Structure formats: structure tokens, C-alpha cells
Amino acid sequence: MSKPRSAWWPSALAFVASVAGLVFAALSTWDYAQHLDRQIHDVHCSFIPGMPAEKAAENACKVAMYSPYAAILRDRYWGGVPIALFAVGAFAFFTAFSAYALLGGWQRPRRAAQFLAAISLTPVAASAVMAFLSATRLGHFCKTCVGIYASSALLAGAAIAMVLVEGREIRLALAATRTDAPRTGPSGVPATIVDLALDETPPPRAPGGWLLVPTWLTVLALCAATPVLVYASAMPSYASHVNACGKLESPKETTGALLRVTPAGATQPATLFVDPLCPTCKALHQRLVAEGMYDGLDTTLVLFPLDNECNWMLDRAVHPGSCMVSKAVICADSKARSVLEWAYDNQEKLLGLAKGGDLPGARAMVKARFPEVDACIDAKETNQRLIRMLRFIVKNHLPVSTPQIYLGETRLCDEDTDMGLPYAMGKLAPGLVAAK
């Protein structure tokens, strides 16, 4: 009996897919771990593994990394435990398993391919969920994440192909056994040991013992858990960092200039300094909303337009048009949140118009959406209220930068406004996180 050959390409494809998935997951984890120092770093964002990190401040991978969907246990660990870490362990297992499948050839038990095909649907399912969230919640597809999705799909495809090819091979082998196998000798005499030894028909692939599957599952679980446990155990303590960014010196404002945004059930006092045309303010607002925290904040809203049209602290406009939009927010008063969120949603267009010198165009956009505030924008009282907000900022000696958020009177550090947000909120406003 000759040694039969099995189709090698599905195993090889599974191996390649696993290696690619491992590289993408490792890069994603590396980017995440880099940020544990609370500083700003470049992020890898390419379909080609190993390409240098991108300097773009807000690339899609950074958006994904800062999103609530990038990690778990985010209120327990600063930044949480990145989902990609599970992928690192899982793809390490799949790499080893597909190498085994590739080298095992015909002697590999049938259960190996069946197991790989079944279990490889797990990363596919996880990828499908993450892709759905990327499309519907983030509006961006991070290239590194897409690399993981593609690797998962390729792995599953290869594993399924492995099962199908094996099935075909087994069927062919069985058919050959039925038609060609020398059950009797050439003269009708029953086959001897020698005849059977000369038989070239391959025997059917062995199914493998039932214990294999739970064993492989256990190993997979161990592989997936190991990097996670190492990561969590190696993390530093952030307790002393999150409340080290100062306090509001003079939280009381006596002229009633500041706006209040108090959703029903909001309990945590917060003071938020924002510029409606500042992209970072928009990102923070979206994160607070996505984390389910915004509605728990009894917010004192202070508009801080970085626009020298009304703000004397600047010699040029960082966000031209933001004085006008800030006045619109002030005019909306009890509906300030609606105008602010609209401004965030239309930020690029408003900024584009104002930067191009078409401030009347930006004003027309505001008027078209909120005609009731149009006359109020030009009122002297509105300007005075905005000036009083800016005076409040001067009185508190705040940095000329947005956004700034104070929980009670304690400032949430800028470093904690993205990945570390749930953790820092948990420390500074435990009730808010517990009530989520």
C-alpha cells in the first residue's frame, strides 16, 4: 500500500491566514499597549502588516482604538483589555494547528479539519460583530481591524475547504476500495497477507478520538487567555494619575451666564468647557454619549470658542465661526444640547465655510436649521453672556484649550478623555459608572 497524498493547499491557506491574523492582532495590541503611558503615539493603520505607524491624528484605527468597542473591562483597567489580545492568542493557536494540519497530511484525523472549520467560525462571528459596529457606530473601518476580519474569513474558508476536500478524498478512497480492492486472489482464491500488503488503495482517514476536541478547545482557551492574563497582571496603577490635573479655582458664577444641560436622572455635577467647532470636543461628546455617561451628567456648559472674533485670548482664529455658533448655542438656552450636537454633526461643513471666508454661509446653515435663534445671535445680551463665560474661564485661570471637563471640581485629565475615560470616570464619579 503506497502512502496516499492529501490536498495540501487548504491547510497551507489556513496557515497563511492564521499568520496574517496573528500579525494584525499583534500590531493592534502593540498600538494599544503603547498608549498605556497616557501619551500620544502614532498608530498602525494599513492593510499590509508591518507598515509604519501613521502620524495622522485621527486615523480610522485611532477612532476604533478610542471607541468603547475596542476593549473590555474598561472601567476596571485603564484602557481596558483590548479585544485584539484575545485574537493574538487565538491566532497563535490557529497558526500552530494549521501547521499541524499541513504536516499531518493524510494521517491527520478527520476531526482536526472538522474542529478547525467549526471553531474558525468564532473569529468570523466576532469579526462580523466588530465590522457591524464599525459601520454603524464608528462610521470608519480601521485597516488593521479589516486585516483581522479578512484573516478570520480566509481561515474559516480554508478550514471549510479542508473538510470538503477531505470528504471528497474519503469518498474516492472508499469507492476505490469497493471497486478495485483485491478481496480475492487472481484465481478466485481468498486474498493472502501478501495480497493485502500489495494493495495500493489508501485506507479511509481515521476519525480520531472524541477526546481530541475537548483537548483542542482547552488549549485554544488557554492560548486566548494567556496574553490577556499577562497584560492585565502587568498593568501599572493609574490611581494617582487620574486626579492629578487640578481643580476649578472659582466654580461659582454669580451672573447666571453659564448654561445648564440636565438630562432626566442626571446626578453627577460636571462643568464642560467646549468649542462647538472643535473636533476634539466633538469626539469627547460622542464618547460620553457612546459610553452612556452623558445623560448622567448634570452639566454646566461653558462655551469657549477658540475664535478671536470674540475671544481676546487668541491672536487668530483656531476655529473661525465658533463665536457665531457659540452664540447660537447660548440663544437656544434650554435646547442648547440640540444646537451643540447639530454643530458637532455639521462641524466640517461649518468650519469649511468659515475658513473659506464664507461666515454668512455658515450663519445661513444655522438659520436654516434653527430659525428661532437667528435674531438672538446678534443681540448685545448674547455677546455679553458669551463674554461673561470667557471671564469665568479667565477667573479660573484655565488653559486656552478645549475640551475641558470637571467632575465636581476635579478636572478630568486630557489623557483620560479617550481610552482611559471609563476608568477615570469610575474613579472621579463612581456613581456615574455604577449607574450605567
Partner 1 sequence: MKGAGVVGVVIGCALLAASAIAVQGQVADASERLKKGPDPNAAKPAIAVADDAELAYCTPAFKQVLQRTLNACGLIGQDARRGCQPADVKTLAAISDEDFNALFTPLKDRGAVIQFDDGSDKLDDDGKKIIEELWQDRRGARYFFIVARASKTGGADLNRALSHKRANSVLFDLTDKFHDPDLDKQVGLLWLGNEFAQLGPEYCQWNISRKGKPCTAEAINRSAFVSWVDCQL
Site for partner 1, rule CB under 8 A:
22, 26, 29-30, 33-39, 85, 88-89, 92-93, 95-97, 99-105, 107-108, 219, 223, 226-227, 230-231, 234-236, 238, 241, 254-255, 312-313, 380, 384, 387, 390-391, 393-394, 396-401
Shortest distance, CB of residue 311 to partner 1, whole angstroms? Answer: 8
Cβ 280 to partner 1, closest distance in Å? 13
- Ramachandran quadrant class, 381 (left: phi over 0; alpha: psi -120 to 50; beta: rest): alpha
Closest by Cα among 403, 425, 424, 413 to 293: 425
Indicate left, alpha or beta for 307 from its phi (over 0: left) and psi (-120 to 50: alpha). Answer: beta
Nearer of residues 23 and 353 to partner 1, judged by Cβ: 23
Looking at beta carbons only, is 296 or 403 nearer to partner 1? 403
**Minimum distance of partner 1 from residue 82's CB (angstroms):** 10
Q: Which residues of 171-201 are buried (b: 16+ CB within 10 A; e: fewer)?
A: eebeeeeeeeeeeeeeeeeebeeebeeebeb
- Closest approach of partner 1 to the CB of residue 37, in Å: 4
Q: What is the DSSP letter of 387?
A: H
C-beta closer to partner 1: residue 199 or 253: 253
Give the sign of the dihedral formed by CA 53, CA 58, CA 61, CA 65: positive
50 vs 265, which CB is nearer to partner 1? 50
Question: What span, in angstroms and rounded, lies between the C-alpha atoms of 321 and 355?
Answer: 8
Distance of CA 226 to the CA centre of its chain: 21
Report the residue number, 219 or 289, with the smaller CB distance to partner 1.
219
> Of the two residues 41 and 349, which places its CB atom closer to partner 1 in the complex?
41
| Cβ(141)–Cβ(44) below 8 Å | no
Q: How far is the CB of 185 from partner 1 (least distance, A)?
A: 32
Nearer to partner 1, 2 or 39 (CB): 39
Distance CA 327, CA 178 (A): 87
Smallest distance from partner 1 to CB 171, Å: 22
Cα(first)–Cα(last) distance of the chain, in Å? Answer: 67
Residues 255, 113 contacting (CB under 8 angstroms): no
CB of residue 385 to partner 1, shortest distance in Å: 11
